[in-house]
Amino acid sequence: MEMPVNHPIFRLGAIGVVFVFASLAWSIYGQVLSSRSHDQRAHLSGAVAELWGAPQQQTAPVFNLTWTEQRDETQLIEDKKTGTKREITKRVTTQRNQAVMPRSSRLKVDLSLDERRKGLIWYDLYDVVFDGQWRYRHDSNRAATLELKFSFPSGSGNYDDFRFVVNGHDLARGMRPNNGVMQHNVVVTRGDKISLAVHYKSRGLHSWAYKPASGLTSLEDFDLQMTTDFSAIDYPVRTLSPSTRIRTPDGWKLGWRFDRMHTSQGIGMVMPERIQPGELAAQLAWSAPISLGFFFCLIWLLATLRRIDIHPINYILLAAAFFAFHLLFGYAVDHLDVVTTFVISSVTSVALVVSYLRLVVSRQFAWREAGIAQLVYLVGFSLAHFWQGMTGLTVTVLSIGTLFVVMQWTGRIRWSEVLANPTHGHRGPIPPPPHATRGPMPTGAE
């Protein structure tokens, strides 16, 4: 027997075709948005680094002792003609060097977030004020030359108000960097104490770090105090957690204090990153079929149980109204902030669906069932993308919640009888036949 075109199973298949094509459209649109953001990031990354700076990693200054050793070296020389041998003593001079660690380190770092937007990309820039003081005491009986080498985080960065103070004397004015390194030599004898203080102001991007050494090293009497004017703090990979954390009105005051520690890890901070509009728009587009699938299932179920005639063509226009949310969000976010764009897109899409179903079914159905369902499945689900890690949990909660509602609504339904009585073109709800249920209809049935 040929299945009529208005049979619920036929309608369900047609709705499935609409869903597949809508999902394909969202997939293509999400790829377009992702490529646009990726291309802008690749194009602007170099210019941003030159204009505003790059991630900074400040290394500890190098303290290196150099000295000369002289010794007498005796050689036995044979005269080839006479065959006699004689000893010759020569004075040999050898250059020695040894890396030494400072006796104490006192560091202060002030980080101020300064986010900037270029194109579709937000960049988490920061201003940094660095103050460091290191002390060394020469305990060897051997006189030597102490080489003080300080390397800037980046050879292409800008460093304002630079100071290089050795034992209270600022030598920065007469110094010139060599491949990004400032160097000064001091002759030391036993008992001499040398202090080096460095100060500068700079600007970086995304992260700042302090690296005591390239490998395993010893930190003796080490203290680093860091202040931030932002509260969303995070630490880079392979860095130490702070010893103290104090909340301030603007951010945090963090402290790293070690009497003696052996470590290969550094200390650092990752700047908080804003929601990237282009990436968010692409993620919303890729996850949109989940929202539409929930919505279609609920509308189809209500239409089937209440004998409401909602044609597959109506579903095409409903899918288009959902797509309008993502289309408007993807291009309006170039010109407006994310929250404003989200509100405008949500209101527009909900207005399209409600105003349309008001004509197709009824005003009550459009506002109560369809409107609330769209707020939950489209607006609520999209809103979860604003919090990292919440998308999966939101899908789980919506799935379980929807399953519970559907099971409660349909627990007394005889589906064989409901599906055997297709709709007959009614544009509004009509009561189901008495034999379609084993008990009273679900709450909200008309």
Q: pLDDT 10s digit of each residue in the chain, 446 long?
A: 444 556 667 778 888 999 999 999 999 998 888 887 777 666 666 666 667 778 899 999 999 999 887 777 777 777 677 767 777 777 777 888 888 889 999 999 999 998 887 767 788 899 999 999 999 999 888 889 999 999 998 877 889 999 999 999 999 888 888 888 999 999 999 999 999 999 999 999 889 999 987 777 888 899 999 999 999 889 998 899 999 999 999 899 999 999 888 888 899 999 998 878 888 888 889 989 988 998 998 898 888 888 888 889 999 999 999 999 999 998 888 788 888 999 999 999 999 999 999 999 999 999 988 999 999 888 888 888 877 667 778 778 878 888 888 888 777 777 777 666 654 444 444 344 444 343 444 444 33
- From 201, 236, 270, give the residue that closes a domain: 270
Are 181 and 299 members of one domain?
no
CA 251, chain centre distance (Å): 19
Q: In what order do the strands lie in the sheet containing 244-247?
A: 169-170, 160-166, 193-205, 121-137, 104-118, 217-228, 252-263, 244-247
143 close to 188: Cβ distance less than 8 angstroms: yes
Are 287 and 408 members of one domain?
yes
With respect to residue 198, please indicate whether it lies within any of the assigned structural domains: yes
CA distance 136 to 336: 55
Among 190, 176, 237, CA closest to 211: 237
- From 270, 285, 307, give the residue that closes a domain: 270
- From 270, 290, 305, give the residue that closes a domain: 270
Total count of domains within the chain: 2
Residue 113 belongs to domain spanning = 58-67+94-270
Are 166 and 303 members of one domain?
no
